[in-house]
Each structure stands twice: as C-alpha cells, then as structure tokens.
Chain A
C-alpha cells in the first residue's frame, strides 16, 4: 500500500513537468518556424522574458518573415487549421478565398494565466507569421503589440539620433 502511494505521488509530480514541455511544443506552427526560420530569405526573431519584461505583458514573441511560395502557404494553412481548432478568429481578411491577413487566439480560456495568439499576413510576396503569448485577454492584444512596437522604435530612434 505504501509503495503504491509513493508511486502515485511520483507519477503525479511528473504531470506539471510534461505539461510545461507540451505547452511549447504542441503547436503545428512550430513546424513552420523550424522548417523555414533558418532559411535563406527568412528573418526569424524570438524574444523572450529577458527583453519583453520591459513594459510589455507579452511573455514570448516569435516572428517569421519569409518569401511567399506555395508549399509554405500550404504548410502554414494546415498548421493554422489545427492550432486554432479550439480558439477563435479575432480578425480575418480573405481575398479570392485565400487568407490575406488574420489574428487568432488559440483558446477561449488562458493556459495558466497566458493567452496564445497567432498573427498571419501575406503581402507583397512575403509571409509574416507571429506567435506570441501574454498575460492579457484578446481585447488588449492591440495595446500590447503597440507597446512592443514602441520599444523597438525607441531603440531604433536612439540609433538614428546618433547618426
């Protein structure tokens, strides 16, 4: 009996471990970042708490800008269809039946205290894909994106000033 209780406690302890690992890797768009992020013609930026803690409630940000082609579009659309199954569209713009621009939240309720979002855009033969997590609900996404943009602008302006 004692042995069974010990084993049960040990097994229960492993649940949060696996939960933590799975939180990062369960999304199909991870495949897109892994496949195209380090290719010629791509720019991939990953920002974590070390940078984002400065005034944004975004806790993780990953963006990919890459050249548009059919296999990429196919992979992305398939990944989006899987990942947003339990989520909802915050905005979506289609042209000729193809998604041109979209913002999705991946779940109606936060995981822990974080919501996950995917932003997607196809324009001027470039695909932009953003995955981010943050401690804010969907109606505050716009504001948090603005704060992050301001952070980048501040740094960039500093550089321009020096020139």
Chain B
C-alpha cells in the first residue's frame, strides 16, 4: 500500500519509470483497489486500454480502420469526377443554348419566315432575296424603331 502511495506521488510528479507505471496500471486493473485510491482507477484503466505492450515496447493502438480512409478517398475522387462531368455537360448546354441566341430569325403569325435564312446578313442586303413578306417585316421594324426615336 505504501508502495502504491509513493508510486502515485511519483507519477503525478512525472518521475515514474516505465516499469513503475506498469505496476500502477496492473494494480488499478484489479478489483482489489484500496478505497483511498479508487478515484485514480478510471485514469489508469483508461491508459491501460490505450497502450498495448508487445515485447516490452509500448506500441500505439491499431490505426483507425483503413476502410474509413478508403471511403473518404472514394468520396473525394467521386466529387472531382462529378465536377468534371458537370463542367462538360454545362459546356454542351451553353453551346446549344448560345446557338439559339446567335441566330437571327423571324416569326409571322406563328410561322418561321423563310427556310432560306431570309434574315441573315447576306440575304438582307441581297435584293433578290427581299420578298414582299420580308418587306412587310422590314416596314414593321422601321415603324417600331421610328416610334421610339421620334
């Protein structure tokens, strides 16, 4: 008992050797701990469970399951792959949507004017392609623009 007392005192002064700490842990792992030392039992039992000894050399507990690390890595790579796919899809989407706004077009009474691209630059300036219908459209747009600039 005195021995334990001294060992505990030395332990809290940071002066115990490995052997002495081993003695303390062994003592506190029994069910026969004196009443005055019961308060220290949880602490030494915790240390005992954390440290495994093999061949007299303390080693750390086994590392956390390698499966958990694999899952994290998988998750990260899946995230990168998803971002790349999203980037590609967005690019295709933009290409197609951008195309809609890069063309000139005319609808009259719900019908698209001319399958001969009447509103492209060449047709607009090429007199042969300006039909009566195109002229009505031009007149309408001239009126629109005049009404906002007069």
Q: Which residues of A does B touch, CB under 8 Å?
A: 3-4, 6-7, 10-11, 13-14, 17-18, 20-21, 24-25, 37-51, 53-54, 60, 63, 65, 101, 103, 119, 121, 123, 128, 130, 142, 145-146, 148-149, 152-153, 155-156, 158-159, 162
Contact = CB atoms under 8 A, between A and B. Distances in A.
Contact of A46 (B94, B98, B105, B120): B105
A39 B110 contact: yes
Contacts of A20: 94, 98
Interface in B104-127: 104-110, 119-121, 124-125, 127
Nearest to A103: B148
A89 to B, nearest CB: 14
Chain B contact surface mostly: helix
A18 B94 CA distance: 8
Given A47-B119, A155-B125, A119 B148 contact: yes
* Contact residues on B (Cβ < 8 Å of other chain), bracket: 35 or more
A21 B97 contact: yes
Contact of A3 (B76, B101, B103, B134): B76
A128 B149 contact: no
A3 B76 CA distance: 7
B43 to A, nearest CB: 37
B137 interface: yes
13 contacts: A4-B76, A7-B79, A14-B87, A14-B90, A17-B91, A24-B101, A43-B109, A51-B119, A51-B121, A121-B147, A128-B147, A146-B149, A159-B135
